[in-house]
Structure 1
Amino acid sequence: MIRNYFTIAFWAMLRHKAFSFLNIMGLAIGMACSILILLWVTDELSYDRFHAKASQLYRITVDAGDVKAAVTMVPMAAVIQAQIPEVKSAVRLSKYYTHLLEVSERKFEEQRLLYADSNFLSVFTFPLVEGDAKTALSRPDGILLTQKMAEKYFGTEPALGKMIRKDNEEQVRVMGVLADIPANSHLQFDFLMPMSYLARSDERLKNNQWGSFNHYTYLELHENVSTDAASLQKLNTGITNIHKANAKIKAEYYLQPITNIHLHSNFLADLPGHGNIQYVQILTVVAIFILLVASINFMNLATARSARRAKEVGLRKVVGAKREHLIMQFMGESLMIAGISLVLAMVFVALLLPTFNDLSGKQLSLHFLDWQLWLGVGAIALITGLVSGSYPALFLSAFQPVKVLKGTLAGTHASTFLRNGLVVAQFVVSIVLLVGTAVVYNQLQFIQHRNMGYDKENLLYMQMRGNLYNQYQALRTELTQNPLTINFTATQDLPADLHTGTTDIQWEGKDPNLQVIFPSMAVDENFIEVMGMKILAGRSFFKDSKADKDNFIVNEKALQVMGMNLATAVGKPFSFGGTKGTIIGVVKDFNFKPIQQAIEPLVLQLNNWGGYIVIRTKPGQTEATIQALEKISSQLNPGYPFSYNFLDQDLANLYQAETRMGHLFTVFAALAIIISCLGLYGLSAFVAERRTKEISVRKVLGASAPQLVSLLSTDFLKLVLIAFVIATPLAWVAMHQWLEGFAYHIDLSWWMFALAGIAALSIALLTVSYQAIKSALANPVKSLRNE
């Protein structure tokens, strides 16, 4: 019997090729979108789950009032491991360091080197392909590198035991080669060195100092330790009490599961590259909606063809077919179409995956032998087939054979109402996605063109490394003498994603119970002018002024926090980080962090040597300026390769996640519209076919082609307008919530919604008009003769 059902379904598809094509293409595109999103979501949710002890691993985060950070103090790890019995191991990680590494006169400036405690490899699952995990981080002068880096430096030769020259000075020995770090690890690094090496020069590590938050601390709990909310809160309290007993800063500590770090982190001084759980939720909803849009197409076209299959159903019932048999037959047809669509969808996915990876910044791949993949896509096909075929099966199997064979069908108005409702639902989804695309695009444009409080264009920078530190004055002289590089400043940090700050601040009238963190930047006397900032009161730093070494410039927000006003702030005493001085100027607020965060109080100090040289290039002379800077760098610092970057590019990189989300929204909105229009095209063809006689009679009686096109199009356009009315409040709520994640954002404007509505209406009109024009131009004589 089942074989018979599928045979009938196959021949039904062949008899109605156009409708079958529209169904299969709509479902295939919808499934392909859902599979791509499924791959992306699965990858996002898989971060750090490959660690053998993933369920026992936690990172310590700190809440210091206004600031929530992912870093802790140097002694915290050892004290926690000694005093809290639930903790099996504690391991510290540094921030990323940049070092010059050299093998056989081949030099590379590597930016992803981490320092870690010696027990790092026993806590995390980063397997070695060469070396012994127990001793790999035991030597201070040892280094670990990934397979990719081993090939880069040593080719096909074994790397273990080889020497690498570091920073043109000392040699370090390769103690192990790590398997390449999985893409779904929040820790991404190319090199690893022992924390004991860093302790040679870092006073905080050498003296085990409390006070500065500068290391990431991870804990491994014992296997039998309960990790329910109450137990974790007890651990949080224990860690907080350790801090209170040793440090003056008020802070609360919390354990963050390692598997939550990628999607649930919005902390100061965190490692870069995290995702956003909100985007995972949004794209999951988008995948479901697109699949529903495709399923709605199937339902619409199937119910629209109900009249053609009514006699078939009536005859089957007359000869003894039961309703459940008919339901099975029609469900079998929908499952067959879903199966064919799945095969086609997998072809689409395989072809589109490289492009999707470029858009999403992923390295996704299809593993055809992965049973979990087939389980997922099989579930998509099964659910799609069942959802798509459920209503048509129930609707068609309910026909009464007496009425059918007499030529009267019950439920026509109900089926028409349902079809109209489904078309509305399709365009509601499409319009919401179109609004989302418009809002995301405009927010990105706002980010790119927003006044940051300084002129971010044409700012070229070079990080000071090697001999440039020791030849700072010579460097300044060379830059001053060249007209291409004369407009420069030396700054310890760039105003892009600043993390440094302290609570050790004093001013007149400060509440002794107030704890607030002031970020800071060390800048030279040219900083304000080169960056295009504005001094609102007082002055900038004087050139070569020893008196200014203890003076400060603050921003407007700092004045607000301190309760001072612009007219009287200059000249007030101010203490920052133990240095007592005077406020000599107030700078207009500028963004020094991503615009998801509001502007914070900021202190500028005089910088006598800088981490970066920033040059404002003249229009049209950027390339010449780069060449001039390269020449200066090569003369003063021949041991280091010259490298440079642009500040506006760094700022753009801060919003990569938003940019990618904008691209994905655009693509999926376009596909949702395409799927909706496939269904609309099929319905318009069906309606035009059913009204052939009416159209012919109207044409014979003198109706013009535009009148006939209007007649056939109006009903569909009304449905799109209804969809627009429903979609507008839904889109407003969704986009308003997304924009709330930015401290500075655009306002939702009526034209964004109107543009989405006009776009949907225009596309629907073009889709329907094709069939309407075709019917209006048909020869009425032939149609009436056939009747």
Structure 2
Amino acid sequence: MRPTPPHRAIKFLRWFCREDFIEEVEGDLIEIFEMQFEDSPKKARRKFYWSVLKYFRPEFIKAFSNQNSNYLTMQRHNLKLTIRSFLKYRSQFLINLIGLSTAIAAVLFIYLWVSDELGMDKFHQKDEQLFQIYSNHSDAAGISTWKGVPGLLKDELETVPEVESSTVYTDTHDFTLSSNDSYFRALGKFADSSFFDVFSYQLLSGGNKNPLKDESAIIISESLAQKLFGSTDVIGKSVTWHFWEKQKEVFVSGVMKNTPNTSSDQFDFIMSWEFYHDMIEYKQWGNYYARIVVAINNPANQQQAASTIDKIFKENAQTEKVTLFLKKYSDQYLFGNYENGKEAGGRIEYVRLFSIVAFFILFIACINFINLSTAKASQRTKEISVKKTLGASRPSLINQHLTESVLISVASMFLALGLVWVLLPQFNLVSGKALSFAFTWPFALTAISVVVFVGLIAGSYPALYLSSFDPIALLKGKLAKGKGEVRGRQVLVVIQFALSIILIVAVIVVQGQMSFLQNKNLGYDRDNILYFEREGKILENSETVLHAIKQVKGVEGAALSGFIIGGGNSTGGVDWEGKTEEDQIQFWEIKAGTGMLELMGMEMAAGREFTEEFSADSASVIINETALEAMGMEDPIGKTITHYTGEKKIVGVVKDFNLISLHTKIEPMIILYNPKETHFVIAKLEKGNEAQTIQGIEEVYKKINPGYVFKPQFLDQDYEALYKAEQRVSGLAKYFSALAILISCLGLFGLSAFTLERRTKEIGIRKVLGAGQFNILYLLSGDFTKMILIGILISLPVSYYLADQWLANFAFHISLSWWIFALAGVSALAVAWLTVSIQTIKASNTNPVDTLKSE
């Protein structure tokens, strides 16, 4: 048997080689191949490929100009046919255009949102090298994860070989700044002199020196410079920083660009870490007051660096209860949740969710295109049969139909871009973003990818289906309307509505959980509770301020408080009789004055609240029920515990209340009587006239504290801010789900219109034979109802699983009742019935004489 040369090489040679050379060249190559094959078949095949490639030279390549001309002529012909098809089947074209453009606009909106989320904190030049040091704290309740680490650790990092550089800083806080007797509120933090070496916040001036070296230095943003001085040329000018009873005159050593929107840490100024560190009273290895970020010389050395840093910490802290580890700095925003010391997702879940939603919406729109194209096939049979009879190949027909789908995809993209440009400001309001519409390369590539995806996915099946018809059968009028065609469309409709119902369930569950969060009894009254920070002369005249505020009309009461929704300080420095090594517990700490618990509606489970009647309350504490259970105490009133500030007597047990987010369970808490160190004045307002009451409180504030900015805050707003991400996701999910249903119904509308068009004469005959409008409506909507019911059955287990997984992120959440899924299914069914009924009622009202006289 003669050996055969590689088929692909022969095919390539015949494609490019001139006709007057092909026979001679091919013969010579095959002869040489046969001789070489005897020695080594593999080597002969490789050499044959190489020999063919060597002939790919200008003198052997044939002219393709005529073929290119034919190709262009064919493409122009297909374009004309496509435009004529659009004009001829206008309703189908408009339904596809509206559905696809709306879906693509939604995808582009989601792309912009997802890109912004994924790009958060990625602007730092050393992004791949930056790692935040975290601490895992083990106690009787499990492992809790903090960003806080001891500030003393920073100086020890110079001995870690993997650490190229590092910086230590604090969280951002709202401070008061003054200049020339004008007071302003601004967000600021403290950081050491290497802050701008590690991070890429841009300095506009003052960057040639070390701008944070001096304890009296401050770096301010452009916007803050304009606010304070009306100019950015402010190096050396003085500003006074105020906090609590402290104030310090500092001098502007640098001006930085405003922090970019892609930074998760927004601030207006930075002051010296040395100044802050001097104020820390407890500079201990057990005090986790600092935030430290390190730049690793090689990201591959992350684990080695983490091990060395943890070893240094343990040697100094003398504890095995706390372990330090490293986490990539730019990953914190998306992967910020931890459960028992292990990473447990975060905002990345919403990124994944909306990416899936984008695919769902686009897929639903593609299903509409496929269904309408295949349903309209019978109206194009003559065109297809004539072309096939005249010699048109199947590839050319496929090419024609793909051209149609790609063109409508391109038209939809342009319309979608217009929608995005017009609606982007409203989208920013809903999403809380500051997204911009700019034609960047990633955006352009995404748009092109969507066009190609939609064009090919939506057009491939109709193209393959229409081009497969037998021309002889078509000319005889024997189009095979087989079960496969009908079932294919039915399956797609089922999938379409199953996806829509999943989105409806998601919206109902998210809205239900948001309503639950807003209305849940937290164990305290957060409505109409106003608070403001104590600073300036209010610190010296707290009792006078409280008395004056209580006299304001509409104020039910006032007190001093250190209560902060979302947490605050925590400590493990609490001991009690009978405590063992396994009983190490972290307590949330709240400092309070007299009357705070009563004012906030907190109930006592045992004992009493702090009152002015007891002079010894300065050494008293109140614990919550969870702390009592964790400590294993019985009859705790009057017992003594040892706090890191000294011995304290338990005077009361307050019923549990949710201090932090409902994502987490209630944790042990200790309330200390320490009115001098409470940071806030709180006031309970009567309902109905809040604006006038707030104005009265502001007058009291300005009279006692002239110049300072009165910035009242409300507990209910702080509580809602804990769920800002969920609320925004809820709003977006609502709109995108409504869009998915709209697109589904748009396709159902077109499909039902076409079905009724094909059954017009059947309807006429039934009416002549006495069928009523209800009978016809039942007959025509029955098939669609079956498909939607199947879609409901498919979607229920999937939607239940997804909803259950999302609710698992909350320690307190709604239960997944049967009515949620019933409501989603009934809603989808009702909308589908309404869509089909519009068409069927119109068809059933048609005079049967008009439908039958054409026969």
TM-score range relative to shorter protein? over 0.9
Q: Is the CA contact 1:479–1:486 (under 8 Å) kept in the aligned structure 2?
A: no
Which residue number in structure 2 is paired with residue 509 of structure 1? Answer: 578
Task: Give the length in aligned residue pairs.
Answer: 768
Q: Match for 1:38 among 90, 105, 111?
A: 111
Residues 735 and 209 of structure 1: is their aligned pair in 2 closer, same or farther, counting only changes over 3 Å? same
Q: Match for 2:160 among 58, 79, 84?
A: 84
Per-residue deviation at 1:262? 0.9
**3-state SS of paired residue (1:487):** strand
Provide the rounded CA distance (Å) in 2 between the counterparts of 1:360 and 1:640.
Answer: 33
- Comparing 418-427 and 317-326, the one that deviates more: 317-326
2:614 aligned with 1:537: no
Q: Match for 1:595 among 639, 649, 662?
A: 662
2:273 aligned with 1:195: yes
Q: Is the CA contact 2:556–2:685 (under 8 Å) kept in the aligned structure 1?
A: no
Q: Match for 2:638 among 568, 571, 580?
A: 571
Q: Is the CA contact 2:530–2:684 (under 8 Å) kept in the aligned structure 1?
A: yes
Q: Is the CA contact 2:752–2:836 (under 8 Å) kept in the aligned structure 1?
A: yes
Q: Match for 2:377 among 303, 306, 314?
A: 306
Q: Is the CA contact 2:402–2:459 (under 8 Å) kept in the aligned structure 1?
A: yes
Per-residue deviation at 1:406? 1.6
Q: Is the CA contact 1:490–1:607 (under 8 Å) kept in the aligned structure 2?
A: no
**3-state SS of paired residue (2:128):** helix
Q: Is the CA contact 2:638–2:651 (under 8 Å) kept in the aligned structure 1?
A: yes
Name the amino acid aligned to 1:68: T
Q: Is the CA contact 1:521–1:605 (under 8 Å) kept in the aligned structure 2?
A: yes
- Comparing 313-322 and 571-580, the one that deviates more: 571-580
Per-residue deviation at 1:397? 1.1
Name the amino acid aligned to 1:518: F
Residues 483 and 427 of structure 1: is their aligned pair in 2 closer, same or farther, counting only changes over 3 Å? same
Residues 506 and 156 of structure 1: is their aligned pair in 2 closer, same or farther, counting only changes over 3 Å? closer
Percent of aligned positions that are identical: 37
Provide the rounded CA distance (Å) in 2 between the counterparts of 1:482 and 1:336.
Answer: 69
2:475 aligned with 1:405: yes
Q: Is the CA contact 1:521–1:603 (under 8 Å) kept in the aligned structure 2?
A: yes
- Comparing 176-185 and 626-635, the one that deviates more: 626-635
Name the amino acid aligned to 2:77: N
Alignment of 1:638-677 (within 5 A): 638-677=706-745
Name the amino acid aligned to 1:184: T
2:197 aligned with 1:122: yes
Which residue number in structure 1 is paired with residue 396 of structure 2? Answer: 325
Per-residue deviation at 1:629? 1.9
Which residue number in structure 2 is paired with residue 153 of structure 1? Answer: 228
Provide the rounded CA distance (Å) in 2 between the counterparts of 1:248 and 1:487.
Answer: 47
Q: Match for 1:103 among 156, 165, 179?
A: 179
2:595 aligned with 1:526: yes
Per-residue deviation at 1:481? 5.2
Residues 483 and 577 of structure 1: is their aligned pair in 2 closer, same or farther, counting only changes over 3 Å? farther
2:681 aligned with 1:604: no
Which residue number in structure 2 is paired with residue 21 of structure 1? Answer: 94
Alignment of 1:243-282 (within 5 A): 243-249=313-319, 250-266=321-337, 276-282=347-353
Provide the rounded CA distance (Å) in 2 between the counterparts of 1:672 and 1:783.
Answer: 35
Provide the rounded CA distance (Å) in 1 between the counterparts of 2:105 and 2:552.
Answer: 57
Q: Is the CA contact 2:553–2:696 (under 8 Å) kept in the aligned structure 1?
A: no
Name the amino acid aligned to 1:219: V
2:288 aligned with 1:213: yes
- Comparing 461-470 and 292-301, the one that deviates more: 461-470
Residues 306 and 213 of structure 1: is their aligned pair in 2 closer, same or farther, counting only changes over 3 Å? same
2:170 aligned with 1:94: yes
TM-score by length of 2: 0.87
C-alpha deviations, 1:609-659, integer Å up to 9, x for none?
A: 221111111233423432332232122211312221211111111111111
Per-residue deviation at 1:106? 3.3
Which residue number in structure 1 is paired with residue 693 of structure 2? Answer: 625
**3-state SS of paired residue (1:73):** coil
C-alpha deviations, 1:598-617, integer Å up to 9, x for none?
A: 10011111122221111111
Which segments of 5 or more consecutive residues in structure 1 lack a partner in the other structure? 269-273
Alignment of 1:353-502 (within 5 A): 353-368=424-439, 370-410=440-480, 412-480=482-550, 484-485=554-555, 487-494=557-564, 496-502=565-571
Residues 157 and 147 of structure 1: is their aligned pair in 2 closer, same or farther, counting only changes over 3 Å? closer
Please, what is the CA RMSD of the aligned residues?
1.8
Which residue number in structure 2 is paired with residue 69 of structure 1? Answer: 146
TM-score by length of 1: 0.95
Name the amino acid aligned to 1:103: S
Per-residue deviation at 1:142? 1.9
**3-state SS of paired residue (2:581):** coil
2:122 aligned with 1:49: yes
Per-residue deviation at 1:343? 0.5
2:210 aligned with 1:135: yes
Q: Is the CA contact 1:240–1:251 (under 8 Å) kept in the aligned structure 2?
A: no
Which residue number in structure 2 is paired with residue 271 of structure 1? Answer: none
**3-state SS of paired residue (1:305):** helix
- Comparing 685-694 and 370-379, the one that deviates more: 370-379
Per-residue deviation at 1:99? 2.5
- Comparing 275-284 and 538-547, the one that deviates more: 538-547
- Comparing 391-400 and 152-161, the one that deviates more: 152-161
Name the amino acid aligned to 1:100: T
- Comparing 640-649 and 169-178, the one that deviates more: 169-178
Which residue number in structure 1 is paired with residue 760 of structure 2? Answer: 692
Per-residue deviation at 1:135? 2.2
Per-residue deviation at 1:175? 1.8
**3-state SS of paired residue (1:786):** coil
Residues 333 and 616 of structure 1: is their aligned pair in 2 closer, same or farther, counting only changes over 3 Å? same
Per-residue deviation at 1:775? 0.9
Residues 7 and 603 of structure 1: is their aligned pair in 2 closer, same or farther, counting only changes over 3 Å? same
Per-residue deviation at 1:699? 1.2
Alignment of 1:746-757 (within 5 A): 746-757=814-825
Provide the rounded CA distance (Å) in 1 between the counterparts of 2:559 and 2:767.
Answer: 79
Per-residue deviation at 1:47? 1.2
- Comparing 712-721 and 125-134, the one that deviates more: 125-134
Q: Is the CA contact 2:222–2:232 (under 8 Å) kept in the aligned structure 1?
A: no
Per-residue deviation at 1:43? 0.7
Name the amino acid aligned to 2:366: S
Q: Which structure has the greater CA radius of gyration?
A: 2
Provide the rounded CA distance (Å) in 1 between the counterparts of 2:146 and 2:452.
Answer: 45
Per-residue deviation at 1:445? 0.6
Provide the rounded CA distance (Å) in 2 between the counterparts of 1:663 and 1:480.
Answer: 40
Provide the rounded CA distance (Å) in 1 between the counterparts of 2:551 and 2:228.
Answer: 39
C-alpha deviations, 1:26-73, integer Å up to 9, x for none?
A: 110110111100110011001111111111111111110232101111
2:548 aligned with 1:548: no
Provide the rounded CA distance (Å) in 1 between the counterparts of 2:642 and 2:782.
Answer: 73
Q: Is the CA contact 2:552–2:697 (under 8 Å) kept in the aligned structure 1?
A: no
Residues 327 and 209 of structure 1: is their aligned pair in 2 closer, same or farther, counting only changes over 3 Å? same
Which contiguous aligned blocks of 4+ residues in structure 1 show a shift greater than 6 angstroms?
none
C-alpha deviations, 1:308-366, integer Å up to 9, x for none?
A: 12222222111111111111111111101100010011111111111111111001111
C-alpha deviations, 1:205-237, integer Å up to 9, x for none?
A: xxx532211111000111xx242xxx4333222
Per-residue deviation at 1:484? 4.6
Provide the rounded CA distance (Å) in 2 between the counterparts of 1:411 and 1:353.
Answer: 45
Which segments of 5 or more consecutive residues in structure 2 lack a partner in the other structure? 1-73, 340-344
Residues 169 and 577 of structure 1: is their aligned pair in 2 closer, same or farther, counting only changes over 3 Å? closer
C-alpha deviations, 1:683-733, integer Å up to 9, x for none?
A: 001000000110111111121222212221121122111111111111111
Per-residue deviation at 1:86? 0.5
- Comparing 671-680 and 582-591, the one that deviates more: 582-591
Per-residue deviation at 1:413? 1.2
Which residue number in structure 2 is paired with residue 289 of structure 1? Answer: 360
**3-state SS of paired residue (2:686):** coil
2:233 aligned with 1:165: no
Provide the rounded CA distance (Å) in 2 between the counterparts of 1:169 and 1:446.
Answer: 43
Residues 172 and 211 of structure 1: is their aligned pair in 2 closer, same or farther, counting only changes over 3 Å? same
Q: Is the CA contact 1:491–1:607 (under 8 Å) kept in the aligned structure 2?
A: no
Per-residue deviation at 1:771? 1.0
**3-state SS of paired residue (1:488):** strand
Q: Is the CA contact 1:186–1:261 (under 8 Å) kept in the aligned structure 2?
A: no
